[in-house]
């Protein structure tokens, strides 16, 4: 990956991240949520490389360009999906829940989900809270990049690496009085944007130091650190589950990478360990020297990765349609049926994303890029 140009191998990572989320929602990969955190790290990395290419622009121009490009990339298919949902509900004689719809349109749906009014009963939107998290980070990061010096920006990002887990620890102490059950607290921490800005920040730091990392072979060191961090987290909390909580058998590994990811401080360390591991995987993949480069070099995976955002938007609807068609669900259906639903839903979501990218996203992105180029001329 040179000079911030697009990397097909990083696109493959996007493909795998999206498929991991689909697999979780089909009930076959309990830790598929980590695909979202890989998306977060990749987003921090890619948007920073993009900003660096425009780093010599006027600050206001840089900020306006950044928000325009992010909006052109995120909003079209997102808005189309919401409009489709409202239209379908209207055709069925139903209406979209106002609280949920407004939270989706104004990108605070993650908080609406935490407090129980973020979903629509008849149109799947429960996965879209992650888009709100991204938009909230971009709202802050654009200003930081435009108005802080290089040194101050690095300090701000490093502060996020420290403050986010500290804030998760504080949230773990205070949230039970507000949210009640351990499951509600775990989800509240999981979906609160600023508690996970460290995942975006670690991707941004990788981008800012990319030449240094790549030229010195640092990607292997980063992967080793990330693997060690995640492995240590799993070992420590397997020990906590067994020796402190008295669990045995398969219960020893429960609530470590899936389940109720809260209690005994696990909410503090889990997301940092996952982000470090994702950073290591991203660094080695982007360097083009990873042992899995044969897999990430497959053009099909790269092509799916290019439209993975749209596939993520459509996947919940695809899963719902397929399960309704076959008469099953992600919890009680046989594993074989859930795997079949995963394959079918992935194909449907990817197909819809490719059509959306060709006829909705790509034309609008092209118009936006031409407008920005003309404005800079």
Query: Mind spelling out the 3-state secondary structure of 52-74?
Result: HHCCCCCHHHHHHHHHHHHHHHH
pTM, two decimals, is 0.95
Q: How far apart are CA 278 and CA 35, in angstroms?
A: 9
Domains of the chain, by residue range, sit at 8-376
pLDDT, residue 3, reads 47
DSSP code per residue over 205-264? HHHHTHHHHHHTTHHHHHHHHHHHHHHHHHHHHHHIIIIIT---GGGGGTTTSSS---ST
Q: H-helix or E-strand containing 45?
A: helix 34-53
Nearest to 138 by CA among 216, 224, 68: 68
CB-CB contact of 270 with 260 (8 Å) = no
pLDDT, residue 298, reads 97
pLDDT, residue 120, reads 94
Q: In the chain, which residues have pLDDT < 70? A: 1-5, 55-56, 372-377
pLDDT, residue 373, reads 66
pLDDT, residue 371, reads 75
Q: How far apart are CA 346 and CA 353, in angstroms?
A: 10
pLDDT, residue 362, reads 86
pLDDT, residue 375, reads 63
């Amino acid at each position: 990956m040179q000079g911030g140009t697009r990397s097909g191998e990083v696109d493959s990572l996007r493909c795998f991240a999206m498929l991991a989320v689909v697999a979780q929602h089909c009930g076959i990969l309990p830790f598929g949520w980590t695909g979202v955190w890989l998306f977060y790290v990749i987003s921090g990395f890619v948007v920073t490389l993009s900003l660096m290419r425009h780093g010599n622009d006027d600050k206001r121009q840089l900020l306006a360009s950044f928000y325009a490009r992010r909006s052109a990339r995120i909003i079209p298919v997102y808005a189309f999906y919401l409009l489709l949902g409202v239209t379908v509900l209207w055709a069925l004689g139903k209406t979209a829940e106002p609280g949920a719809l407004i939270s989706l349109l104004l990108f605070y749906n993650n908080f609406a989900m935490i407090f129980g009014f973020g979903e629509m009963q008849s149109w799947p939107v429960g996965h879209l809270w992650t888009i709100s998290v991204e938009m909230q980070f971009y709202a802050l990061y654009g200003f930081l990049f435009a108005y802080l010096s290089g040194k101050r920006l690095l300090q701000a990002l490093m502060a996020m690496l420290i403050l986010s887990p500290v804030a998760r620890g504080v949230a773990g102490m205070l949230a039970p009085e507000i949210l009640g059950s351990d499951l509600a607290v775990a989800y509240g921490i999981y979906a609160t944007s600023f508690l996970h800005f460290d995942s975006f920040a670690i991707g941004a730091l990788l981008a800012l130091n990319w030449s240094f990392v790549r030229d010195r072979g640092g990607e292997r060191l980063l992967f080793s650190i990330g693997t060690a961090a995640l492995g240590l987290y799993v070992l420590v909390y397997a020990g906590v589950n067994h020796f402190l909580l008295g669990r045995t058998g398969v219960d020893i590994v429960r609530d470590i990478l899936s389940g109720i990811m809260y209690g005994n401080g696990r909410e503090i360390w889990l997301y940092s360990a996952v982000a470090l591991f994702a950073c290591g995987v991203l660094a080695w993949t982007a360097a083009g020297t990873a042992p899995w480069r044969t897999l990430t070099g497959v053009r099909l995976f790269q092509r799916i990765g290019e439209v993975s955002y749209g596939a993520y938007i459509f996947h919940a609807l695809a899963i719902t349609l397929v399960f309704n068609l076959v008469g099953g669900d992600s919890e009680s259906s046989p594993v074989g049926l859930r795997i079949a639903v995963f394959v079918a839903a992935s194909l449907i979501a990817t197909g819809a994303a490719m059509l959306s990218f060709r006829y909705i996203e790509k034309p609008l992105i092209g118009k936006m890029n031409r407008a920005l180029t003309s404005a800079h001329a």
